[in-house]
């Protein structure tokens, strides 16, 4: 059967169904709260953009730290000695840092399971796993506070360091402090989302995607710690 050819001046069916082209179409899509990046929802797209910008910040911090460490003429403190703890009369290097790393990596596992149960609409397990993740994060921050207190008691300051290069204190407090701030914000963020999940707010909305978005943030925080651990504590 022959298809109907549009008469002159009559818009084609494809033109009727397709969105407006050019800047007008882009403005229309964004203004109508549509998915601006094909199938990526607003919340996830904005989180990825935020994480990308945060990646640049952490990259600058770590690059600056490496530049300072390479260029300083004063001996850099040995991390195995600076971050050692004496347990039972034996000095164990990096034991606290190893535990902190294990705690944070474990929290990635509980967060991944929380996302899995969220898409199964299992509110209780999702909330429980998110709160467990937040508890891991709180434990990490507590151990980091202990680490800070120990170094401050030993005389390390952002402007001075009795164990070697003065830049050590500035690098340590800047990098670990900025990361610790991210973990603290993540703990608050996950706790709020977990309570809303338990209350059934997202069940009524029919969308648990906020759990996955929170998971993106938390996995990013964990990944950044892996680089800090490698460059600052092992190098």
Q: Residue 210 domain-assigned?
A: yes
Rounded to two decimals, the pTM is 0.82
Eight-state DSSP code of residue 130: H
What the block records as the tokens of 210 is 């906020």
Q: Residue 30 domain-assigned?
A: no
* Residue 18, pLDDT above cutoff 80: no
Higher pLDDT, 69 or 207: 69
* Residue 197, pLDDT above cutoff 90: yes
Q: What is the mean pLDDT of the chain?
A: 87
Confidence of residue 26 (pLDDT cuts 50, 70, 90): low
Q: What is the pLDDT of residue 45?
A: 87
* E strands in the chain: 85-87, 90-92
What the block records as the tokens of 195 is 């309570």
- Give the residue numbers spanning the domain of 143: 39-233
Q: Residue 9 domain-assigned?
A: no
Inter-axis angle of helices 123-153 and 167-199, to 10 degrees? Answer: 160
Mean pLDDT of 53-80: 94
Q: Residue 14 domain-assigned?
A: no
Eight-state DSSP code of residue 157: B
Instruction: Using alpha carbons, list the distances in angstroms from residue 90 to 84, 102, 233.
Output: 10, 21, 20
The model's pLDDT over 86-124, given as tens digits with 9 standing for 90+, comes to 888 889 999 999 999 999 999 999 999 999 999 898 999
Q: Residue 18 domain-assigned?
A: no
Q: Residue 25 domain-assigned?
A: no
Q: What is the pLDDT of residue 15?
A: 44
Q: Residue 136 domain-assigned?
A: yes
The model's pLDDT over 156-176, given as tens digits with 9 standing for 90+, comes to 999 989 999 989 999 999 999
Q: What is the pLDDT of residue 43?
A: 84
Look up the CATH number of the domain holding residue 201.
1.20.120.80
Q: How many domains does the chain have?
A: 1
């Amino acid at each position: 059967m022959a298809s109907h050819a549009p008469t002159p001046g009559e818009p084609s069916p494809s033109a009727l169904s397709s969105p407006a082209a050019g800047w007008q179409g882009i403005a229309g899509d964004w203004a109508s709260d549509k998915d601006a990046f094909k199938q990526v929802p607003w919340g996830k797209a904005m989180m990825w953009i935020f994480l990308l910008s945060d990646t640049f910040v952490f990259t600058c911090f770590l690059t600056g730290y490496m530049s300072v460490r390479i260029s300083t003429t004063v001996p850099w403190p040995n991390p195995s000695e600076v971050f050692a703890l004496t347990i039972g009369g034996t000095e164990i290097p990096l034991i606290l840092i190893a535990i902190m790393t294990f705690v944070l990596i474990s929290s990635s596992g509980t967060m991944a399971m929380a996302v899995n149960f969220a898409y199964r609409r299992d509110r209780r397990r999702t909330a429980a796993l998110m709160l467990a993740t937040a508890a891991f994060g709180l434990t990490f921050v507590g151990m980091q506070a202990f680490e800070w207190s120990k170094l401050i008691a030993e005389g390390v300051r952002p402007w001075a360091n009795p164990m070697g290069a003065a830049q050590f204190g500035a690098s340590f407090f800047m990098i670990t402090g900025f990361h610790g701030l991210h973990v603290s914000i993540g703990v608050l963020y996950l706790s709020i989302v977990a309570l809303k999940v338990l209350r059934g707010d997202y069940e009524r909305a029919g969308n648990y995607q906020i759990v996955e978005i929170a998971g993106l943030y938390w996995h990013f925080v964990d990944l950044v710690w892996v680089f800090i651990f490698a460059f600052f504590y092992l190098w």
